[in-house]
Structure 1
Amino acid sequence: MDSLDAKFPKYMIYCVFVACLGSFSNGWVIGSANIPGEITHNCPNGNAHIFDKTFPDCLPMDNALWGFAVASFCVGGLIGGLSGGAIQTRIGRKKAIIVNNLGYIAGGVLIGCSVHEGMFIIGRILCGIGCGMGSLSIPTYIGEVSTINARGAMGTCNQFFIVVGILLASVIGLPLATVPLWRINYAIVAIPAILQFFLMSTCVETPRYLVSVNKIEEARVALQRLRGSANVDREFYGMVEGYFGSAAAQSMTNYVFDNNATDEQLVPARANNDTMGVIQIFKDPVIRRISFTVIMLHAFQQLVGMNAVMYYSTTIFSTAFDPEFSKYMAIVTTAVNFVMTGVSVALIDRMGRRPLLLMANAGACIFSVLLVIGYVFNIPALLVVSVFLYVASFAIGIGPIPWLMTSELTPTYASSSVGSIGTCVNWAMNFLVAQCFPVIFARIAGYSFVIFAVVAAAAFVFTLVFLPETKGKSLETIVQGFEKHRT
């Protein structure tokens, strides 16, 4: 069997699973402050040492400081995203994933041992650095090791594991939302980080990265291991061709390429095979167009407002229910997110990326409007249903697809810089929403979701006009599609 026709080789699935442990850690950091948040910064005993002589019962913070503390991991995410591109280019995708676990381990331990709010914030920032680097290196790794037929499902697993992390952080956070157990809730993130730190050494480096550093034979061995018994000749030729051009690929791979028997065109060698920097990607007309698409996908993903729901779902439900019941509703919200992300994993390689994203943006727009109506007219049932369907709309497309398409749209020689810019935009918008939403929500309450409805409508139009379908295409073929529309 040709490897281009392969779907789910076992070793490839294993490598994706191990890589996604970092996504789980990311989700845990996002969800860990939701349920135990109140007891963390506003417990009855304040910073008194009633339960333990070493650690204060909680870390008293007003709402503004707590909002910053919760959102501060986005600052770390921005730092991790900025540095992640250079790191994964220098040491490889595999080692970059290993390194980013250090942020989770150090941050989780620091928060668990916090005796001052400053320690809590620094710990969140360190965890955020792990999130930022992982947000870049994990989707890149998955995209570069996956088969064409399974790349959508494998790429969506990144978001699926994030959602699993959010869900378990909420469920486990419920019994841990007491003094002094809240500390354990934040420190748990170190466990999957330590596990991945060691397991990642059993996975291969991505073949495309090895090709980019001219380790051609190692790349072929890695690809063969990822594809099992399938014949990798044609797929490997395409990888080398996409980086060095057709002539070099034929000499390096000994693959017999019959241009008369196919509709494919010979790919010319690039003038410079060096990895593109951030400035260079905006000078090249093809990569500039790809970069614009990636940036807009990531901006829309955050500005559509999902993290406003994730960070402050308990607060939102408190307008309709008592505080205790609101905690359970927040957990149900994460469960909906989990289920629908699983649906996305099953559908994305069947329906394609573009239809799912269009459907998701339309749903986010419609249910944001219904959410406003539920607030304005005080209709608890409509409020709950709208939140759940809004979350479902996000989970089925807006959540996973931008990360997946970042790796699908970008050639290896530009992937680190384009991915780094996209990741930075994502985390910057994440921080903006986390900081501004509580202020906006305090002023205009439910009307704040009108903003998210407008953003979702704009995202729908952008997807309809600018986003190509990448289902069933090799990464090299996708880039060639942009080259045909060079501007």
Structure 2
Amino acid sequence: MISTRTFSCELRLRLNTARVFVLLNLSLSFSYILSLFPPKNGHTLALMVASTAFGGTVQYGYNLAIMNAPTVYIQNFINETFQERWGMYLEVYKVTLIWTFIVSVFSLGGLIGALLAGPMSIHFGRKKTLLLNNIFLMSSALLAVTSRTARSFEMIMISRFLVGINAGVSMNVQPMYFGESAPKHLRGAVSLSSAVFTSFGVVLGQVVGLRELLGCESCWQYLLASNAVPGFIQLFTLPWFPESPRYLLIDRGDKDACLKALRLLRGCEVQRSELDEMLQEQAEVQGKRAQQPWELIADRSVRWQLISITIISSAMQLCGNDSIYFYASYIFQEAGISAEDTQYVTIGTGICEFTACILCNLLIEQQGRRMLLVGGYALMAGWAVIFTVALSFQHVVYWMPYLSMVCVFTYILSFGMGPAGVTGILPTEIFNQTARPAAYMIAGSLMWLNLFIIGMVFPFLVSGLGQFCFVPFGAVCLITALFVGLVLPETNGKTLSMITSEFHMLNFREQERTDPKSKQAHYQQGEVIHCIAL
């Protein structure tokens, strides 16, 4: 009787802890949203951001996090399915291979979604694309919740692929919708909020995946289908908000609808300067066709811009940060943390990145983009070295497991303070209007492709390298920090013309060495542009 009471008290304590985690992060999220928008601008834009993000980039973080809790249960389900169908049990490495494909097919779906985002946003508009995108999400949730009854792990694979498409579309269209709907002085903060909501989705997925909630053996199918809840919230709330004003004016040529959307989002009469800026952009792009990815690759004038986003976007996944969320239990078991406590430690990693992304938003205008990128990747490289040392001596020195745990938290904190927030806004700042969609398509495709590769390789990297599993990630972080510090110009507070002028020195460096007149003409052009900007 005493043991039953003790168990009941412990269960209530853990459930209350989970509720506190959820309420704390919800309050932090909405406090953060409201802090971005002064009352004089009205709260319509703040509510639009919340509605869009909750069914948008939240899904990316949420669907990364929920796959950690049911790992063992789904692996057992795979083995049981094979035994029922063909009367055989799979070897461990075969189960691991199927499981890693289930996890990683999410990335292949994201790659397809990134490629669909551009055509869908042009044809349907930003808001309608986000609403139609929920078709993939609801289909995924239906397959996930019925997979156990149907005794089909293939349905889980298809479910993960479809929700990956949903996340891929959202990750590209949501920043576009935010940037086109926000006023100029809030555009940077609103764009960076996508990273904040992604990290919030990670925390929410970790909390919902607790064994006391949906992370138990009897509920894993409901955990995989729980991503439909944010989708329903978006479906019920987003239709009340307007379409992107810039899309209405520039793409559809509907000035009246644009003015109506601006009045609703601003909560006041439209400022003439803001409308004039949109009309000027409409005149500049009139008659011009957006570049395709292959045209961008062949364009020498943007060669180093393209190299920069290629390296930095790839490093987002190859740095190893998302590996912690895919296989958090593996990491903490290697660090000596007990299996019972792993789920609670994992929630701490999500809260750490969530807090760091908010701090990044506050620091980016003061410290600049390049400083945050170099500092973030350099710190991650250092913590990867310390983490490797700690894992190597965890059976020799008793406090080494605790140092390993600290390294995981600081690694994620360093990622959230720089790369997580800054990477997504770089294509907007270094590419012009006609090149920007293709640049985002390339950057998004690389991100999802590298995420798939890491998802497939990391379990075998852990088994093959053991305590040295983070050495390759540390090398990627160091190389990226050096590249950003030596090549990428600071974009903070500069016009596109000034940034383009700095990249011109890299794109046509060989031509300027052989043709002094060309070099002299370029410097004169740069001075004129600088004077005009001032």
TM-score band, normalised by the shorter chain? 0.7 to 0.9
**Paired AA for residue 190 in structure 1:** A
Larger Rg: 2
Q: Any residues of structure 2 matched to 1:186-205 within 5 Å, and which?
A: 186-205=224-243
Structure 2 match to 1:110: 143
Structure 2 match to 1:369: 385
Task: Summarize deviations over 1:379-408 as a string: whole Å, max 9, x none.
Answer: 212211111000001111211222233334
Distance (whole Å) between structure 2 residues aligned to residue 88 and residue 463 of structure 1: 31
Aligned match for 2:223, one of 162, 185, 191? 185
Does 117-126 or 438-447 show the bigger shift?
438-447
Checking the alignment, whether the CA contact within 8 Å between 2:111 and 2:449 is kept in structure 1 is yes
Q: TM-score, normalised by structure 1?
A: 0.84
TM-aligned CA distance change 1:14 to 1:185, over 3 Å: same
**Paired AA for residue 179 in structure 2:** G
Q: Which runs of 5+ in 1 are unaligned?
A: 1-5, 50-59, 246-268
Distance (whole Å) between structure 2 residues aligned to residue 446 and residue 149 of structure 1: 47
TM-aligned CA distance change 1:288 to 1:163, over 3 Å: same
- State whether structure 2 residue 133 is matched by structure 1 residue 100: yes
Checking the alignment, whether the CA contact within 8 Å between 1:363 and 1:390 is kept in structure 2 is yes
Checking the alignment, whether the CA contact within 8 Å between 1:306 and 1:391 is kept in structure 2 is yes
Structure 2 match to 1:64: 97
Checking the alignment, whether the CA contact within 8 Å between 2:79 and 2:95 is kept in structure 1 is no
Task: Summarize deviations over 1:331-361 as a string: whole Å, max 9, x none.
Answer: 2212212222222233233433222222211
Structure 1 match to 2:75: 41
- State whether structure 2 residue 332 is matched by structure 1 residue 317: yes
Aligned match for 2:46, one of 13, 19, 31? 13
Checking the alignment, whether the CA contact within 8 Å between 1:154 and 1:345 is kept in structure 2 is no
- State whether structure 2 residue 374 is matched by structure 1 residue 358: yes
Aligned match for 2:166, one of 130, 142, 156? 130
**Paired AA for residue 38 in structure 1:** V
TM-aligned CA distance change 1:214 to 1:185, over 3 Å: closer
DSSP 3-state at the match of 1:42: helix
Structure 2 match to 1:142: 178
Structure 1 match to 2:322: 307
Higher relative contact order (CA 8 A, sep 6+): 1
Q: Which runs of 5+ in 2 are unaligned?
A: 1-35, 84-91, 395-399, 508-534
Structure 2 match to 1:226: 265
Q: CA deviation at 1:297?
A: 2.0
CA RMSD in angstroms comes to 2.7
Task: Summarize deviations over 1:435-483 as a string: whole Å, max 9, x none.
Answer: 111111110112121111111112112222333444456xxx3366315
Q: CA deviation at 1:25?
A: 1.7
Distance (whole Å) between structure 1 residues aligned to residue 438 and residue 259 of structure 2: 25
Task: Summarize deviations over 1:161-203 as a string: whole Å, max 9, x none.
Answer: 1111111211111122223211111111011112212322222
Structure 2 match to 1:171: 207
* Percent identity over paired residues: 26
Checking the alignment, whether the CA contact within 8 Å between 2:70 and 2:217 is kept in structure 1 is no
Q: Any residues of structure 2 matched to 1:49-448 within 5 Å, and which?
A: 62-114=95-147, 115-174=151-210, 175=212, 176-213=214-251, 215=253, 217=255, 218-229=257-268, 232-245=271-284, 272-319=287-334, 320-378=336-394, 379-448=400-469
Structure 1 match to 2:29: none
**Paired AA for residue 32 in structure 1:** I
DSSP 3-state at the match of 2:133: helix
Distance (whole Å) between structure 2 residues aligned to residue 192 and residue 215 of structure 1: 33
TM-aligned CA distance change 1:456 to 1:230, over 3 Å: farther
Q: CA deviation at 1:113?
A: 1.1
Checking the alignment, whether the CA contact within 8 Å between 2:144 and 2:222 is kept in structure 1 is no
Q: CA deviation at 1:232?
A: 2.9
Q: CA deviation at 1:104?
A: 1.5
**Paired AA for residue 209 in structure 1:** Y
Checking the alignment, whether the CA contact within 8 Å between 1:7 and 1:147 is kept in structure 2 is no
Task: Summarize deviations over 1:65-107 as a string: whole Å, max 9, x none.
Answer: 1011111100100111112112112222222211222222111
Checking the alignment, whether the CA contact within 8 Å between 1:364 and 1:453 is kept in structure 2 is yes
Does 81-90 or 111-120 show the bigger shift?
81-90
Structure 2 match to 1:23: 57
TM-aligned CA distance change 1:408 to 1:196, over 3 Å: farther
Q: CA deviation at 1:283?
A: 4.0
Distance (whole Å) between structure 2 residues aligned to residue 117 and residue 194 of structure 1: 25
TM-aligned CA distance change 1:202 to 1:110, over 3 Å: same
Checking the alignment, whether the CA contact within 8 Å between 1:209 and 1:412 is kept in structure 2 is no
Task: Summarize deviations over 1:118-139 as a string: whole Å, max 9, x none.
Answer: 0000000000000111111111
Distance (whole Å) between structure 2 residues aligned to residue 411 and residue 92 of structure 1: 20
Distance (whole Å) between structure 1 residues aligned to residue 132 and residue 486 of structure 2: 39
Q: CA deviation at 1:223?
A: 3.5
Distance (whole Å) between structure 1 residues aligned to residue 432 and residue 193 of structure 2: 21
DSSP 3-state at the match of 2:140: helix
Does 169-178 or 382-391 show the bigger shift?
169-178
Distance (whole Å) between structure 2 residues aligned to residue 357 and residue 137 of structure 1: 24
Distance (whole Å) between structure 1 residues aligned to residue 307 and residue 451 of structure 2: 18
Q: CA deviation at 1:374?
A: 1.0
TM-aligned CA distance change 1:231 to 1:95, over 3 Å: closer
Distance (whole Å) between structure 2 residues aligned to residue 239 and residue 439 of structure 1: 51
- State whether structure 2 residue 486 is matched by structure 1 residue 462: no
**Paired AA for residue 203 in structure 1:** F
**Paired AA for residue 100 in structure 1:** N
DSSP 3-state at the match of 1:446: helix
**Paired AA for residue 160 in structure 2:** R
Distance (whole Å) between structure 1 residues aligned to residue 467 and residue 185 of structure 2: 42
Distance (whole Å) between structure 1 residues aligned to residue 430 and residue 261 of structure 2: 22
Distance (whole Å) between structure 2 residues aligned to residue 479 and residue 433 of structure 1: 37
DSSP 3-state at the match of 1:438: helix
